[in-house]
């Protein structure tokens, strides 16, 4: 027999929305608001657009929706430069729209997680504008990192730190002082040693918790505290050290006391609200520090995201993740794509390396085949999984955007990150036709390729071979199988070179990362596969770049 996957899974209200420990094995879907759905035809996604598409997310089978920033912002870095943490930017709507979205999500059995950006504000935040206007000695300057420069006339930056986006991490103001910004100059870093900063963010947490959100994804969670005295790093090309080495501005031990205070606030609210850390650390063991029982609930597993499609490397990072999380009692989290990295359908097209460019149709097919297989592997692992909008459609990065269309600030700084994050942020297609393939009535803020018509939700719905239906079925099977979801153990099985095979209760997963088909035992009843699998006389022929699920029940 041969089988790829079940027919479309029926719509249902996610059961985990009613559970007290829902976050331990939740599947959480990231919405990038400007690129999800546009309700008013201005080419930019908005909260009302998201609200109208919530039934799609319920039917996909996810448990929660994480919204990237929609706060009032000059949009120097796509909303990660916040001018007012208690207001919705007019391009996305208003607070009434946010309230309606949260209420509708709850009615559909979905939870809403919002982004929180505590490392830095916009340079248009009222605090920063006053700090600049009031000059040296202003109390407001103590809420940021203002310093005199070095050199005879203060013409040199206070230290050698570099921006993540390239160039110095310091900008000089007209009165001669410099301020710190680990990202764009429009994003000055808060000074978390000042009590007013902590007071403000505790108030912001309560504001959104009172609005009914179910949690917060903490942007740059590793960056709030800087080493005392802001010491020189002593090396250049510092971006290459990120996540690989100890940095005086990242992963300082002082961040953990902040999160202990935050956890006390969250625990006052019913319904098991959660924190999720974006924490780039040198090791998964350091990441585990963020999810100790009195701190945060989850932390993104960037070590897993950065791993090549290779059985040996994947097994190593899976084992290390489970071992690191076990002592702190936190669930592992798994993620393959987000708004800051090359989509895995492109990344796996011609490994190694993040940022690989697709050159041929063959590359596209290979990347999609590996992406489908990688998704089934991820969803079979114990813990929680994150899905980035559009990956369920098999979308690749858009790699041929014209220079005049790009908006990533890293692109214009000409250094630091590669500046090509726009490629994973192109608005997703909903229909085969229309000015933006159903995204909105007035085009889209980044142009979509014409071939995306056949990758749209409309084109893929009901096609049993489509990536969308694979995701729908995988999430339904994952929910139905007792061996999947929460836990911290996998039982590795003997397998050919290039193949991962493991058991979890009555569930067995086999992932062939190699370039040739392999023969394995048929471990039971075939549940799902990312490609065609032939079973004969108790054996299964698993094609290259294919993942298979069985049950022994």
Place of tokens 């006391």: 257
Catalytic entry in 38, 46, 189, 219: 219
Q: What is the spatial distance between Cα 22 and Cα 140, in angstroms, rounded to a whole number?
A: 41
268 in catalytic set = yes
**Tokens read off for 200:** 């403000």
Residue 246 tokens, joined: 């100890």
- DSSP state, 68? P
3-class state of residue 546 by DSSP: strand
Helices (H), 124-192: 126-134
Give the DSSP per-residue string, 411-460.
HHHTSSS-S-GGGG-SPPP-SSSSTTTTS-TT--SSPPPGGGGGGSHHHH
Are 217 and 66 contacting, i.e. CB atoms less than 8 angstroms apart? yes
Q: What angle do CA 266, 268, 270 make, to 5 degrees?
A: 90
Q: Is 537 a catalytic residue?
A: no
The CA distance from 419 to 411, in Å, is 4
Active-site residue (options: 21, 134, 267, 268): 268
Q: What are the contacts of 445-450 at 24+ separation with CB within 8 A?
A: 445/34, 445/35, 445/43, 445/44, 445/407, 446/35, 446/398, 446/401, 446/405, 446/407, 446/422, 447/398, 447/401, 447/405, 448/398, 449/398
Secondary structure, 3-state, 4-34:
CCCCCCCCCCCHHHHCCCHHHCCEEEEECHH
Active site residues: 219, 268
């Amino acid at each position: 027999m041969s089988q790829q996957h079940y027919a479309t899974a029926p719509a249902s209200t996610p059961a985990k929305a009613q559970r007290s420990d829902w976050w331990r094995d939740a599947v959480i879907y990231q919405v990038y608001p400007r690129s999800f759905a546009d309700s008013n035809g201005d080419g930019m996604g908005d909260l009302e657009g998201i609200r109208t598409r919530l039934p799609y997310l319920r039917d996909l089978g996810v448990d929660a929706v994480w919204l990237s920033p929609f706060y009032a912002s000059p949009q120097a870095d796509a909303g990660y430069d916040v001018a007012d943490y208690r207001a919705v930017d007019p391009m996305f709507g208003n607070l009434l729209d946010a309230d309606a979205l949260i209420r509708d999500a709850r009615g559909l059995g979905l939870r809403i997680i919002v982004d929180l950006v505590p490392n830095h504000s916009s340079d248009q935040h009222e605090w920063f504008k006053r700090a600049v206007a009031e000059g040296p000695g202003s109390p407001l300057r103590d809420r940021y990192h203002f310093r005199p420069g070095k050199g005879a006339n203060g013409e040199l930056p206070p230290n050698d730190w570099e921006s993540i986006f390239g160039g110095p991490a310091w900008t000089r103001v007209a009165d001669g002082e410099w301020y710190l910004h680990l990202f764009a100059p429009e994003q000055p870093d808060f000074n978390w040693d000042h009590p007013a900063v902590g007071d403000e963010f505790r108030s912001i947490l309560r504001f959104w918790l009172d609005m009914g959100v179910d949690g917060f994804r903490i942007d740059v969670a590793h960056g709030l505290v800087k080493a005392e005295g802001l010491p020189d790093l002593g090396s250049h090309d510092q971006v290459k050290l990120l996540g690989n080495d100890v940095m005086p501005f990242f992963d300082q031990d002082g961040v953990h006391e902040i999160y202990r205070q935050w956890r006390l606030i969250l625990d006052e609210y019913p319904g098991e609200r959660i924190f999720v850390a974006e924490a780039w650390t040198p090791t998964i063991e350091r990441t585990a520090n963020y999810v100790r029982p009195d701190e945060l609930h989850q932390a993104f597993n960037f070590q897993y995201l950065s791993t090549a499609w290779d059985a040996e490397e994947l097994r190593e990072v899976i084992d290390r993740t489970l071992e690191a999380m076990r002592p702190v009692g936190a669930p592992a989290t798994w993620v393959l794509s987000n708004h800051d990295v090359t989509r895995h359908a492109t990344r796996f097209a011609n490994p190694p390396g993040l940022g690989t460019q697709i050159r041929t149709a063959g590359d596209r097919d290979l990347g999609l085949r590996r992406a489908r297989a990688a998704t089934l592997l991820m969803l079979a692992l114990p813990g929680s999984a994150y899905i980035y909008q559009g990956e369920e459609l098999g979308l690749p990065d858009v790699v041929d955007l014209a220079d005049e269309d790009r908006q990533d600030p890293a692109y214009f700084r000409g250094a630091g990150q590669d500046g090509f994050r726009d490629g994973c942020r192109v608005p997703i297609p909903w229909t085969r036709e229309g000015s933006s393939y159903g995204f909105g009535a007035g085009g889209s803020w980044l142009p979509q390729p014409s071939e995306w018509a056949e990758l749209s939700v409309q084109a893929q719905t009901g096609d049993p071979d489509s990536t969308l239906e694979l995701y729908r079925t995988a999430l339904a099977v994952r929910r139905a199988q007792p061996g999947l979801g929460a836990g911290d153990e996998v039982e590795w099985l003997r397998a050919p070179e290039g193949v991962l095979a493991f058991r979890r209760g009555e569930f067995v997963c086999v992932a062939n990362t190699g370039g040739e088909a392999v023969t394995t035992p048929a471990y039971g009843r075939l549940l799902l596969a990312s490609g065609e699998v032939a079973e004969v006389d108790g054996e299964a022929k698993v094609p290259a770049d294919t993942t298979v699920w069985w049950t022994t029940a």
